[in-house]
Amino acid sequence: MKLHKEGNTIIPWFVIGVVALYLLLTWLIPLELFRLVLGGLSSIFLVLVVAFFRVPKIQVPVGNDLVIAPAEGKVVVLEKVMVDEFLKEERIQVSIFMSPLNVHINRAPVSGKINYFHYHPGKYLVAWHPKSSTENERTSIGFEMSNGVRIFMRQIAGAVARRIAFYKELDDKISVADEVGFIRFGSRVDLFLPLEANLKVKIGDKTTGGETIIAHLKS
């Protein structure tokens, strides 16, 4: 299993911390049953941490009119909103909530180039909170496709997330499903699509980053 570079530092520290805590507690409470239960719980916790940083294989759908899920998670918002940044117009907002059990790699929803980026410091409300999109710590990214269509995306920190990484620069050319960033742990990604986009997801749908078709864009 391939692991993401964001886990290169945190995974060893988690292992050291869990092992140290296990040794300390089993020394303080030298009971066989306690040792077995604690060992099992520690193993499960370490497996979950490693799984969080996994890099799954994906099959990217083909189509110039497709908008692909930028993250793995669950669709929690589908609504028409006024976007007051970058686009300055009404758009369809599609929000994907990523729990700590999801892969937190963020991928480009379309092919084109990056023509807008802005970092916003902010709060750490739970990621599904309606105000998290505009009040939480976040990054705003604008994508421009070769046909001139612009797609707006936000990476939003949640109550647990304390690190948002974005790996690209302004004017970088990107292909759909390219890895563009990472958020840890528990967070959300918002997409803002043209009003005429033909949505292919509904509230509660699960998404796979780089695979799930979010919408077809009008030609």
Question: Would you please indicate which residues are annotated as catalytic (active-site) residues?
Answer: 187
Q: What token pair was written down for 159?
A: 């109550």
- Spatial contact of 5 and 13, defined as CB atoms under 8 Å apart: no
Alpha carbons 213 and 61: distance in angstroms, whole number:
8
Integer-rounded Cα radius of gyration of the chain: 19
Alpha carbons 166 and 142: distance in angstroms, whole number:
12
Alpha carbons 110 and 65: distance in angstroms, whole number:
9
